[in-house]
């Protein structure tokens, strides 16, 4: 059994494609870290995730 593909927390429902050079997954992606560290961006991400989840059902 292989390892599961990590999911991108910024692109809902998509796998991490390692779009940031040097990243091995979302855990060390600089873009994810910047969004999660900024309260306004994090709030907007939460709003968009809730909207995406609502539309997906």
Q: Domain containing 32: what range?
A: 26-56
Q: What is the helix, strand, coil percentage profile of the chain, to 5?
A: 50, 5, 45
Number of domains in the chain: 1
Q: Looking at the domain assignment, is residue 43 inside a domain?
A: yes
Q: Residue 48 domain-assigned? A: yes
In the chain, % of residues over pLDDT 90: 60
16 occurs within a structural domain: no
Locate tokens 């796998």: which residue?
A: 15
Band (1; pLDDT cuts 50, 70, 90): low
- Residue 6, domain member (yes or no): no
Helix, strand or coil, per DSSP, at residue 43: helix
Give domain status of residue 13, yes or no.
Answer: no
pLDDT at position 48 over 90: yes
Q: CA 4 to CA 9: how far, in whole Å? A: 15
Full-model pTM: 0.77
């Amino acid at each position: 059994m292989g390892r599961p593909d990590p999911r991108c927390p910024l692109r809902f429902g998509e796998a991490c494609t390692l779009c940031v050079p040097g990243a091995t997954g979302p855990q060390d992606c600089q873009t994810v870290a910047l969004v999660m560290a900024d309260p306004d961006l994090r709030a907007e991400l939460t709003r968009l995730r809730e909207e995406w989840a609502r539309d997906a059902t």
